[in-house]
């Protein structure tokens, strides 16, 4: 199917993209990897009047560590994270996500920033950014502003990016040696959106107690959600399987999944508990700190 007609603007720099977006206001839309936008346009679920193609902006294609953050540029593909050996070595949460988002071909075009900007209720990167306490850098009229992912994700397909603005990068705090994560996703087949998924990241203090916990679920409501009660329950505690089990019980309390061809609401609700539990256990195993 052909999408509806649109005016195409090719941007070669962030300034060019921003100017075009400012000029077209509500009619303008950023075109990143197109892996969500183009299907939506083909189904005529979206018919933007103007597309601002940011793919030619090579200066936004980067993956680097700076000032304590892993910085992921707006045109950096999912595959770049998947194939970078240093990311594989040190970012266990990101590594376990980047291999299960969509399928390998889609990952060569889809971008991490595009995915959080799309804010699909079943997005994998949104939940990951929540668990890893990401920050999105937005270029707005008054210059740059940094928005914590919790405020960035407003509602299904809605983010803190306002009309005429664009996201420049996602920043993820660099995990220290006592931080590990895990992504747990149930899908019907490879390349499918999650039936339900959980992103988990744990940091330990030197004495073995939990310093920080990031826990988020996706495909379990209108938007990926932080399981704050579970996080709070873990902080300052010594991790035991009993405690992790108790924390996982918090997930179904906030989950509001819809029944669809991937499963009933009851099933998905219960899976949030199972997946959070598995994720916590795997993170702890990766920390070499499982205790009974």
Partner 1 sequence: MTKTQNMEALGADFAGIDVPNIVTVSIRINGKVVTRAVPSRMLLVHFIREEAGLTGTHVGCDSSSCGVCTVLLDGSTPVKSCTMFAVMAHGRDVKTVESLAVGGTLHPVQQAFWDQHGLQCGYCTPGMMMTALALLERNPNPSEHDIREGLSGNLCRCTGYNNIVKAVQQAAGAMSASSAADPSAADD
Ligand X SMILES: Cc1cc2nc3c(=O)[nH]c(=O)nc-3n(C[C@H](O)[C@H](O)[C@H](O)COP(=O)(O)OP(=O)(O)OC[C@H]3O[C@@H](n4cnc5c(N)ncnc54)[C@H](O)[C@@H]3O)c2cc1C
Scanning 27-35, 133-141, 149-157, 247-255 for contacts with partner 1 by CB under 8 A, the matching segment is: 27-35
Residue 74 binds which entry of partner 1, ligand X, none, CB below 5-8 Å type-dependent: ligand X
> What residues from 102 to 121 belong to the interface with partner 1 (CB under 8 A)?
102-106, 108-109
Sign of dihedral through CA atoms 156, 160, 162, 164?
negative
Q: Please state the length of the chain.
A: 292
Please say which residue, 43 or 86, places its beta carbon nearer to partner 1.
Answer: 43
Q: Binding partner 1 by CB under 8 A: which of 16, 19, 46, 55?
A: 55
Longest dimension (CA), the chain: 61
> What residues from 102 to 161 belong to the interface with ligand X (CB under 6 A)?
102, 106, 110-111, 113-115, 117-118, 120, 123-125, 161
Please say which residue, 38 or 246, places its beta carbon nearer to partner 1.
Answer: 38
Q: Which two tokens stand for residue 282?
A: 């795997």
Would you give the binding string for ligand X spanning residues 7-36, x where CB under 6 A is met?
A: ----------------------xxxxxxxx
> What residues from 189 to 218 belong to the interface with ligand X (CB under 6 A)?
191, 193
What is the closest distance, in whole angstroms, from the C-beta atom of residue 180 to ligand X in the complex?
A: 22
Contact call for residues 48 and 31 (beta carbons, < 8 A): no
Chain position carrying tokens 């747990």: 184
Edge-to-edge strand list for the sheet holding 7-10: 7-10, 50-53, 28-31
Contact call for residues 81 and 98 (beta carbons, < 8 A): yes
Q: Binding ligand X by CB under 6 A: which of 11, 37, 172, 227?
A: 37
DSSP assigned state of 207: T
Question: Dihedral, CA atoms, 108, 28, 6, 60, nearest 10 degrees?
Answer: -30
Note whether 39 binds partner 1 by CB under 8 A. Answer: yes
What is the closest distance, in whole angstroms, from the C-beta atom of residue 64 to ligand X in the complex?
A: 17
What is the closest distance, in whole angstroms, from the C-beta atom of residue 109 to partner 1 in the complex?
A: 6
Chain position carrying tokens 């933007």: 48
Note whether 191 binds partner 1 by CB under 8 A. Answer: yes
C-alpha span between 218 and 200 (Å, rounded): 12
Q: Which of 191, 195, 200, 189 is nearest to 269 (CA)?
A: 195
What is the closest distance, in whole angstroms, from the C-beta atom of residue 114 to ligand X in the complex?
A: 2
Query: How far is residue 4 CA from its own chain's centroid?
Result: 29
Site residues (CB under 6 A) for ligand X? 29-37, 39, 74, 101-102, 106, 110-111, 113-115, 117-118, 120, 123-125, 161, 166-167, 191, 193
């Amino acid at each position: 199917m052909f999408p509806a007609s649109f005016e195409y603007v090719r941007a070669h720099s962030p300034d060019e993209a921003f100017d075009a977006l400012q000029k077209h206001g509500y009619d303008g839309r950023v075109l990143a990897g197109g892996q969500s936008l183009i299907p939506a346009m083909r189904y005529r679920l979206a018919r933007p009047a103007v597309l601002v193609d940011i793919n030619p902006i090579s200066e936004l294609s980067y993956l680097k560590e700076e000032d304590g953050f892993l910085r992921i540029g707006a045109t950096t593909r999912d595959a770049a994270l998947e194939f970078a050996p240093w990311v594989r070595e040190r970012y266990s949460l990101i590594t376990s996500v980047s291999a299960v988002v969509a399928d390998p071909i889609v990952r060569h075009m889809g971008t991490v920033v595009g995915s959080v900007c799309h804010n699909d209720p079943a997005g994998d990167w949104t939940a990951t950014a929540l668990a890893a306490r990401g920050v999105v850098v937005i270029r707005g009229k008054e210059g740059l502003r940094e928005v914590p992912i919790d405020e960035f994700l407003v509602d299904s397909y809605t983010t803190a990016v306002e009309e005429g603005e664009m996201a420049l990068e996602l920043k993820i705090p660099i995990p220290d040696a006592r931080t590990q994560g895990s992504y747990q996703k149930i899908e019907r087949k490879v390349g499918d959106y999650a039936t339900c998924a959980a992103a988990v990241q744990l940091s330990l203090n030197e004495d073995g107690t939990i310093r920080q916990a990031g826990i988020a679920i996706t495909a379990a409501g209108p938007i990926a959600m932080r399981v704050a009660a579970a996080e709070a329950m873990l902080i300052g505690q010594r991790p035991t399987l009993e405690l992790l089990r108790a924390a996982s019980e918090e997930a179904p309390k906030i989950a509001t999944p819809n029944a669809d061809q991937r499963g009933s609401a009851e099933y998905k609700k219960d899976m949030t508990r199972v997946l959070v539990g598995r994720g916590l256990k795997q993170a702890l195993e990766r920390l070499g700190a499982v205790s009974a």
